[in-house]
Amino acid sequence: MYNTIVVGGGVSGLMAAFAASQNNRKVLLIEKNKRLGRKLLISGGGRCNVTNRLPYEEIITHIPGNGKFLYGPFNTFDNESIIRFVQNRGVSLKEEDHGRMFPFSDKAGDVLEVFLNALDDNNVEIRFRTEVAEILSSDNSTAGVKLTDDNVIHSENVIITTGGRSVPNTGSTGDGHRFAQAFGHTITDLFPTEVPITSSEPFIKSGDLKGLSLENVALSVLKKNGKASITHQMDMLITHFGISGPAALRCSQFIYKEQKRQKTKEIEMSIDFFPETSPGKLKHHLENEISVNKSRAIKNILKSIVQERLAIFMLNHLEIDGTVNGHHLRSEDLEAILDFLKRFTFKADGTQSIEKAFVTGGGVNLKEITPQTMESRRVKGLYFAGEVLDIHGYTGGYNITSALVTGYVAGNDANQKMP
Ligand SMILES: Cc1cc2nc3c(=O)[nH]c(=O)nc-3n(C[C@H](O)[C@H](O)[C@H](O)COP(=O)(O)OP(=O)(O)OC[C@H]3O[C@@H](n4cnc5c(N)ncnc54)[C@H](O)[C@@H]3O)c2cc1C
């Protein structure tokens, strides 16, 4: 009989197993892969963006999927606790842009090693290549787990850290949602987040701009009334199926949300190619370029302002003859060019699949979980932590922070509840 069984040896399960095994508690960690932490190893481009050092408010803002829920767990364990946990165990961390924390070595394996050693120190038993099929209960309390080979293992507490449904070859195939539903928990709509956006616009289909990389643009998802539902000012990339890169990934969940709100597949987006220049200043700049290059073709003048491929595309799109020289450019064409540069609109028709997404949106309904303990409000001794929950953040260490914090709180509560 174990005090606690942790189902799923990913980011959250590793921390939950550590916290649950303090004070010599008997803990079993069950993982269906032959190794632990497969997703941790590929996170942050293989460098593991282990947490983020921004203040709480900023962290919450970067977790648009129910970030506020984390205020409760943060009372017990927060981003600074994660930093101490890793550094006190011999792996130095460094801070990069926007508060992102990485191991000094840039090796995710070093972070995983911290957890493996911590579990070893606490004598956590680990079963690899073992898949949980069902969570058992009696008298509205957890009783243990049943494996896919029909073996039963008993425990007082069960912590479910099976992740979401993204990148299923790492092991996260949504099993925890099924386990939760079996106890009457609700699963909110599941959708892909932090994923490239698709579009069937002719300029995408033709591949005219394929591979075009745009630096520091403002990408917006538009509401029905044309106002921005969200804007992200970052880099982006035009691909053969739509758009990708940091700005597109961050906007992706809002495509799903607007599709639901507007009850339509196609959602308008816009790009401001010069987000830091007001329309007036941009006009002044363009007029100046034209006046000093009067005799040059407008397509050549524009090349000094935007990339050549974009300049040619813009002129074709606006049906402006690129060979017209600056002197003869009509004022309405100048206005059209300025409009394009400040607000080029196009339609997205969705995103790539949840399996291709970095993060799963939706999950176990948070109304049914106590934030101070991560225990189910329905079944005693049943806990949920990590991406299985309806919490999703932008990439930047926010999801891993959520997984580690909720994992710790769940494990710690299971640990302290025992006689
Ligand atoms: C490529 C990539 C890059 C990312 N980069 C970042 C980043 O930079 N910053 C950030 O914040 N987030 C990032 N993320 C997201 C982050 O990695 C996840 O949110 C986090 O790993 C979730 O942790 P978890 O423990 O909840 O789930 P997971 O890490 O998915 O772990 C779940 C574990 O449960 C096991 N399991 C599932 N079902 C069963 C079962 N029935 N029986 C036994 N075991 C089971 C799985 O095999 C798996 O090991 C990235 C994700 C990807 C895919």
Is the pLDDT at 409 greater than 90? The verdict is yes
Per-residue confidence band for 418, with pLDDT thresholds at 50, 70 and 90: low
- For the chain, give the percent of residues with pLDDT over 90: 97
Query: Residue 201 and residue 340: Cα distance in Å, rounded?
Result: 16
Is the pLDDT at 419 greater than 80? The verdict is no
Residue 269 Rama label (left phi>0; alpha psi -120 to 50; beta): beta
Closest protein CA for atom 45 of ligand 1: 8
Q: Is 120 helix (H, G, I), strand (E, B) or coil?
A: helix
Looking at residue 211, its pLDDT comes to 97
Q: Which atom of ligand 1 is nearest to the CA of 130?
A: 43
Q: Is 24 exposed, middle or buried (0-12, 13-18, 19+ CB in 10 A)?
A: exposed
Task: Supply 77's token pair.
Answer: 């364990």
Q: Is the CB of 33 under 6 A from ligand 1?
A: yes
* Domains of the chain from N-terminus onward: 2-192+360-417 (3.50.50.60), 196-352 (no CATH)
Task: Supply 226's token pair.
Answer: 């044309």
Tell me the average pLDDT across 274-303: 94
Residues of the chain by 3-state class (helix, strand, coil), percent to 5? 40, 25, 35
Closest CA to 91 of 74, 72, 73, 115: 115
Q: Is the CB of 194 under 6 A from ligand 1?
A: no
Query: Residue 192 and residue 352: Cα distance in Å, rounded?
Result: 8
Q: Are strands 132-138 and 125-127 parallel, antiparallel or unpaired?
A: unpaired
Q: Is the CB of 11 under 6 A from ligand 1?
A: yes
Residue with tokens 């269906």: 32
Per-residue confidence band for 294, with pLDDT thresholds at 50, 70 and 90: confident
Centre of ligand 1 to C-alpha 156, Å, is: 25
Any idea of the CA torsion for 71, 116, 158, 20, to the nearest 10 degrees? -60
Task: Supply 116's token pair.
Answer: 């493996």
Looking at residue 181, its pLDDT comes to 98
- pLDDT tens for 185-215 read 999 999 999 999 999 999 999 999 999 999 9
Centre of ligand 1 to C-alpha 390, Å, is: 14
Average pLDDT value over all residues in the chain: 96
Q: Is 191 helix (H, G, I), strand (E, B) or coil?
A: strand
Query: Residue 154 and residue 349: Cα distance in Å, rounded?
Result: 48
Q: Which atom of ligand 1 is nearest to the CA of 398?
A: 11
Per-residue confidence band for 378, with pLDDT thresholds at 50, 70 and 90: very high
Looking at residue 55, its pLDDT comes to 94
Task: Supply 224's token pair.
Answer: 């029905």
Q: Is the CB of 349 under 6 A from ligand 1?
A: no
Among 169, 400, 402, which is best to mutate for testing ligand 1, by the most ligand atoms less than 8 A from CB?
400
DSSP state of 100: E
Per-residue confidence band for 313, with pLDDT thresholds at 50, 70 and 90: very high
- Residues in a beta bridge with 375: 383
Helix (H) or strand (E) holding 39: helix 38-42
Looking at residue 245, its pLDDT comes to 96
Q: CB neighbours of 219 closer than 8 A, spacing ≥ 6? A: 231, 232, 233, 234, 236, 243, 247, 248, 251, 269, 270, 271
- pLDDT tens for 55-104 read 999 999 999 999 999 999 999 999 999 999 999 999 999 999 999 999 99
Helix (H) or strand (E) holding 48: none
Is the pLDDT at 341 greater than 80? The verdict is yes
Tell me the average pLDDT across 353-358: 97
Q: What amino acid is encoded at 240 in this protein?
A: H
Tell if the pTM clears 0.85, that is, is over it. Answer: yes
Any idea of the CA torsion for 266, 167, 180, 178, to the nearest 10 degrees? 90
- For the chain, give the percent of residues with pLDDT over 70: 100
Q: Is the CB of 165 under 6 A from ligand 1?
A: no
Looking at residue 326, its pLDDT comes to 87
Looking at residue 327, its pLDDT comes to 87
